[in-house]
Amino acid sequence: MAELRKDRIEAIDVFRGLTIFLMFIVIAIGAGGYRNLPQTASWFGSLPISTWNHADIAWERFVEKKTEEGFTEEEINTMPEAALKNVGLTLTDLVAPFFIFIVGLCLPLSRAKHGREWWNHVLSRTVKLIFFGILYISLILGLSWWWGILQAIGVSYFMAAASLKLNRKGRWIAVFGVLAFHMLMSHFTDWWLNFGNTSEPFFRISTLSGNMAKPLRVHCLPWVSISYGALTIIGVMLGEAVASKDRKRILTDSFRLGAIFMAIGYAIHKTGLMTGVTSLSFNKPDVTASYALFTAGLACVVFGLLYWIVDVKKYKGWIFPFKQLGINALLAYFMQIFMRIFFRALHLEAFFAGEPNDQLQQWAGLWTWSGWQHFWLDKTGYNGLFWALLWSVCLWFCVYAFNKRKIYWKL
């Protein structure tokens, strides 16, 4: 349990809360297996996919379709579309980088708060983030040494904290140095991105014969997390302006840094598409340099807009639901698995499944009206988006119940 500071910059909580709510929707869609969602298009050069799916899902769907048509894996990999595997950037792909960016944004504030004990706090929090990340995925997939988003945040957090020992110029060098190294290793070595890339099952306590390297690929490989670290250092750059409490500096840095990093990231991405070297382009699974730079720049702009709306102009009538998530982010993250286990015990999870099951069929059969049956059985299009939203609202009320009792989970 922890108390909230009264001098919080509300735009940070709102930005974090918006990101978490989008994460709720994204995970609900993925866990439910919802397909054929709305707003399908090519996003920054991706194969056609809904913006409510990760861009790399487009390749999986393409492979499924061609396999059903009788093409072999070798034939599919020689098709022109194979060059766009995992390429693109959807709304869904912004969740991880935005959340990681906010970690960096808050670091200068954290250092000021903890004083001389700050480095002990950094080391402790890094270890806790990695441990709880392993615990979280183990609750879903079984006990193993998984590498997921919380672990990547742990690495990014430590890198960003170390960057505070550098001056401003040093941070710029660190960002581009780390990303240049990542680009070179991705292009000239095979193992950097393909370590553990196998069709074998994951190693876990219940599958001791599984591949022992594959659990490291759940989100991104541990060493690939350094690209997220560069993104977090960009968050630190803006965070120093935020810590100054100088409104003009905060807004200027938000839009200046945003414009610079978005422009550089997009230029690298476009170069990759034009030259056919798509390893340069936006790619979330590989956390490419273009992806890290562009999303960090976009995060700067989004924060600047929120800061201007919430903390400068004081338009706060709409922020309550998002602030409730933002002030209790870690609990909100873990609440997803706790609520899923609880719903499963009550036999409610089946109602959110993307494919018809016995429970859904039973409820749909209570009335013969086709609209009712469509509502329960068909999780495609905007109906699927509605069910994901319903799941997210349930999660929101769980978090809000803890907030009402002033129970906040901090590391």
Is the pLDDT assigned to residue 171 strictly greater than 60? Answer: yes
**Would you state the pLDDT for residue 116?**
77
**What 3-state class would DSSP assign to 173?**
helix
Within a domain: residue 309?
A: yes
Distance CA 316, CA 306 (A): 10
Within a domain: residue 261?
A: yes
Within a domain: residue 400?
A: no
Domain ranges, residue 317: 10-24+94-336
Within a domain: residue 254?
A: yes
DSSP-assigned beta bridge partners for residue 41: 49
Single-letter residue type at 291: Y
The answer to whether 22 and 14 have CB atoms below 8 angstroms apart is no
Q: Which residues contact residue 316 at a Cβ distance below 8 angstroms, ignoring those fewer than 6 apart?
A: 10, 310
Least confident of 267-276, 306-315, 374-383: 374-383
314 pLDDT band, cuts 50/70/90, is: very high
Distance CA 403, CA 21 (A): 16
The answer to whether 391 and 336 have CB atoms below 8 angstroms apart is no
Mean pLDDT value across the chain: 93
2 pLDDT band, cuts 50/70/90, is: very low
Is the pLDDT assigned to residue 3 strictly greater than 70? Answer: no
Within a domain: residue 367?
A: no
Question: How are beta strands 49-50 and 40-41 bridged, if at all?
Answer: antiparallel
**Would you state the pLDDT for residue 130?**
95
**pLDDT tens sequence across 139-166:** 889 999 999 999 999 999 999 999 999 9
The candidate with the shortest Cα–Cα distance to 28, out of 343, 328, 359, 271, is: 343
Q: How many CB atoms lie within 10 A of CB 266?
A: 18
Cα 194 to chain centroid, rounded: 21
Distance CA 211, CA 218 (A): 13
Distance CA 113, CA 121 (A): 11
**What 3-state class would DSSP assign to 379?**
coil
The answer to whether 283 and 58 have CB atoms below 8 angstroms apart is no
Within a domain: residue 223?
A: yes
Within a domain: residue 395?
A: no
The answer to whether 37 and 63 have CB atoms below 8 angstroms apart is no
Alpha-carbon distances of 44 from 3, 85, 167, rounded to whole Å: 42, 13, 34
Is the pLDDT assigned to residue 256 strictly greater than 70? Answer: yes
Distance CA 334, CA 138 (A): 12
**Would you state the pLDDT for residue 1?**
45
Distance CA 209, CA 231 (A): 37
The candidate with the shortest Cα–Cα distance to 288, out of 214, 210, 357, 231, is: 231
The answer to whether 220 and 286 have CB atoms below 8 angstroms apart is yes
The candidate with the shortest Cα–Cα distance to 136, out of 121, 154, 119, 120, is: 154
**Would you state the pLDDT for residue 6?**
56
Structure tokens at 172: 């710029």
Within a domain: residue 263?
A: yes
Q: Which residues contact residue 160 at a Cβ distance below 8 angstroms, ignoring those fewer than 6 apart?
A: 103, 104, 107, 229, 232, 233, 235, 236
The mean pLDDT value for 193-221 works out to 93
Least confident of 45-49, 264-268, 318-322, 368-372: 368-372
Is the pLDDT assigned to residue 372 strictly greater than 80? Answer: no
The mean pLDDT value for 356-361 works out to 82
Query: In this structure, what DSSP letter does residue 4 have?
Result: P
**pLDDT tens sequence across 4-63:** 555 679 999 999 999 999 999 999 999 999 999 999 999 999 999 999 999 999 999 999
Total count of domains within the chain:
1
**Would you state the pLDDT for residue 5?**
56
